[in-house]
Chain A
Amino acid sequence: MPASHRSKLDRWVQRGFWIFSALPTLLALLILAALWIKSQPILLSHPLKTLLFGSAWKPQKGEFGFLPFISGTIWVTVVALVIAVPICILTALYLSEYTSARTQRLIKPLLDLLAAIPSVVYGVWGVLIIVPWVQNSLAPLLGRWGSILPILTTTNPTGYSVLAGGIVLAVMIAPFIVSIAYEVLQTIPFGLRQASLALGATRWQTIKYAVIPKASTGIFASIVLGCSRALGETMAVLMVVGNVPQIPRSIFDAAYPLPALIANNYGEMMSIPLYDAALMTASLLLLGMVLVLNIFSILALRHVLREKT
């Protein structure tokens, strides 16, 4: 029997959709390939070790050490996570375990709204509020312990610092961590909680011994996802972090994360040889870090979903 018009059309539509869905994947691969090719000049002329672990950043002299930027990225991200993770996990637990469904329906959209605020707005808020706060209140307050805890040393008189970047970032990634951790908690069957409560356990004992162990992989994935967002966040961080190419020693030092380096310099100073390739290498490094974390969290989430069924 010859194929009818309908089934022919169906086949073509199917092919069309396949192409559309393949495009984004292809695009990601193309970007990766382009970055790789464009970074070749510097990757070929400098040993990888001096690129990754060299701390001298003197483009005019042809010295490209990425360590200040890599460590700046890590510093800001770690500070953001230290601030955000405990608060976010407790928020997700509170929402999921203690509040009524009505409150959840009310609060959840508000939290999701936080994720929709443009990053430059967070940046302005950081410059206007957080930077002065760090400069005038936090630095004098915490700096006193600088002699005991070196990460609290204050040598930077401005508020533009790792801490300011970390605080702004923490607020920015919070909605994502809360949202995913909450969803993970919601996948846990009510019967499990009842099993524990039926034995006369308190709500907190139930959360601690039944809910959290069951949700731990998923909660971990939510943190990793928040972390990968923090790594790539550019605008807001760049506005408050100081942008000094040095390896930070204290949370009050200025830093220069990779995304800020790329955003600040691309298109400028292109007359310097290899500068273009250096920025491409920075992009490649950043993409690599985010990619690894995302794969990590996807695998963890998949593990959770499989266990659920």
Chain B
Amino acid sequence: MSEIIPHLETQNLNAYYGSTQALEDVSIVIPRNQITMIIGPSGCGKTTLLKCLNRFIELEENARIEGKVLLDGENIYSPSVDVTEVRKKSGLLAQRPYPLPMSIFDNVAYGIRIHRLHSRGQLHQAVQHYLQVAGLWEEVKDRLHAPASQLSIGQQQRLCLARGLAVEPEIILGDEPTSALDPISAQHIEKRLIELKQRYTIVLVSHILRQARRLADYVIFMYMGRVVEAGPAHQVFNNPQHERTRAYLSGEF
């Protein structure tokens, strides 16, 4: 087994909502250019862990964290770090898509504009490029200036993918990004994600085991706020080291 090149890393991460502890001493590595899937039963802290990776945890009322999250070795919680820069480095796919109240084109152009990534002349080209990468271009090229809310929910999720990619992130975070979608749309998204791991590090939260088996290169199994087991997917799925992982994988809870 070759050595893992970590892209993201957490060190002794604890997270609390008020007085309840949601994450307990989480130390994990997330390998570069692979799909890492965080699995576990509801309430195990998967989503909280994901929120720690782009500092979304700070938006929660009463939330507090201890420990470090390192992105390329730099702690994203250190006071000198600009939170917008951290978030720009990771595109987020939420459980259900939230198109911004503007046109399809402007949704993708939004991040490009606020970060001034392309000149005006290149903007159109860039928007087209990311819509193509997200596999949406052919469906929307004739109505780029229609409101994004007119798209189907599956199309909206691909639009959100394009919008996230347009800020040129290094990491894609997905919080059960296919759970609100129909099977065909979900397949679309999965296909895109597999293509995208060539260029991006992908971290997904999922409670669908079959999806995890299909997509994961690296798996983190969590239970009650702790990481029980983490490792390459084939190892965790075929030869789990912990009794609890084995029980979860065989559908006991």
Contacts and interface: CB of A to CB of B under 8 A. Distances in A.
A209 B91 contact: no
B59 A195 contact: no
A200 B84 contact: yes
A194 B59 contact: yes
Interface stretch (B110-118, B121-129, B230-238): B110-118
Contact of B167 (A191, A192, A195, A200): A200
Contacts of A210: 100-101
A202 B84 contact: yes
A189 B101 contact: no
B56 A198 contact: yes
A189 B100 CA distance: 11
Contacts of A201: 84, 110-111, 114
Interface string B137-180: 00000000000000000000000100110010000000000000
Contacts of A213: 101-102
Contacts of A214: 101
B246 to A, nearest CB: 35
Contact of A209 (B88, B98, B102): B102
A200 B111 contact: yes
A43 to B, nearest CB: 47
Interface in A176-215: 189, 191-192, 194-202, 205, 209-210, 213-214
A101 interface: yes
A271 interface: no
Q: At the interface, is chain A mostly helix, strand, loop or mixed? A: helix
Interface residues of B, number: 28
Contacts of B163: 195, 199
B182 interface: no
A200 B100 contact: no
A209 B110 contact: yes
A4 interface: no
Nearest to A205: B114
B96 interface: yes
> Shortest 7 CB-CB distances between A and B: which pairs?
A200-B88, A198-B92, A195-B98, A199-B111, A200-B84, A191-B98, A213-B101
Interface size class of A (residues with CB under 8 A): 10 to 19
A226 to B, nearest CB: 24
Contacts of B192: none
Contacts of B94: 191, 194-195, 198
B61 A199 contact: no
A194 B98 contact: yes
Contacts of B87: 197-200
Given A192-B98, A209-B102, A209-B110, A200 B85 contact: yes
Contacts of B98: 189, 191-192, 194-195
B54 interface: yes
A100 interface: yes
A98 B86 CA distance: 20
Nearest to A201: B114
22 contacts: A100-B61, A101-B61, A191-B98, A194-B59, A194-B98, A195-B92, A196-B110, A197-B87, A198-B90, A198-B94, A198-B164, A199-B110, A199-B114, A199-B167, A200-B84, A200-B87, A200-B88, A200-B167, A205-B114, A209-B102, A209-B110, A213-B101
B127 to A, nearest CB: 14
A199 B168 CA distance: 10
A195 B160 contact: yes
Given A199-B87, A199-B110, A199-B167, 16 more contacts: A191-B96, A195-B94, A195-B98, A195-B100, A195-B160, A195-B163, A196-B110, A197-B56, A197-B59, A197-B87, A200-B85, A200-B88, A200-B114, A200-B167, A201-B111, A209-B102
Contacts of B86: 200
A137 to B, nearest CB: 43
B71 to A, nearest CB: 13
Nearest to A102: B61
